[in-house]
Copies of this chain bind each other. A is one copy, B any other.
């Protein structure tokens, strides 16, 4: 059982999938708080609608990372609510060593491609532009790099040559919504062991 803090910047569809999996008793996890760098993000409403404490973290002056005072404030809120693992769900900033050291090997992310292919922004657009015929999603532990941490699980998704980036994104998100709860359940059950950069599942 984990007490999960969730960080997101947008609509929070993966948080929705996490709530659905909890309700369906497929995920033994409590979401203890939700934080967003974007005060208008729907992920905050989604949390509040469920009675989960939700906070806007003003990340200025940084534009692309969670660092400095904002990081300290995020860590304080997460600890105060008893979070012992962190899920990034569409969080559009790099997390820095401070947060990673506060929750060692307990910060996970979902990325809309089969890493190491297409790291970074709009991975679905990258896949379409590259002409990939298979892409997918990756749940991984977060390390100091950009989408480089040890991989928990991956799910493939076909890419058709008629796909727009939007159509592919929707197809990948469908897989994300099963992959993320599945990976978090493995974490919650204590079944993940990181050896070097390989995640072993017991």
A131 contacts B by Cβ under 8 Å: yes
Assess the B156–A132 pair: CB atoms within 8 A. Answer: no
A117-151 residues at the B interface, CB under 8 angstroms: 117-118, 128-134, 136, 138, 150-151
Chain B contacts for A150, CB-based, 8 A: 131
Chain B contacts for A128, CB-based, 8 A: 198
* Bound Cα distance A134, B134 (Å): 11
A114 contacts B by Cβ under 8 Å: yes
* Bound Cα distance A136, B133 (Å): 11
Given A156-B156, A161-B199, A161-B200, residue A116 in contact with residue B130 (CB < 8 A):
yes
Given A161-B198, A161-B199, residue A131 in contact with residue B151 (CB < 8 A):
yes
A197 contacts B by Cβ under 8 Å: yes
Chain B contacts for A117, CB-based, 8 A: 114-117
Chain B contacts for A72, CB-based, 8 A: none
Assess the A130–B197 pair: CB atoms within 8 A. Answer: yes
A155 contacts B by Cβ under 8 Å: yes
Assess the A198–B136 pair: CB atoms within 8 A. Answer: no
* Bound Cα distance A198, B165 (Å): 13
Q: Which 5 A-B pairs have the closest CB atoms?
A: A156-B156, A131-B198, A134-B154, A133-B154, A117-B117
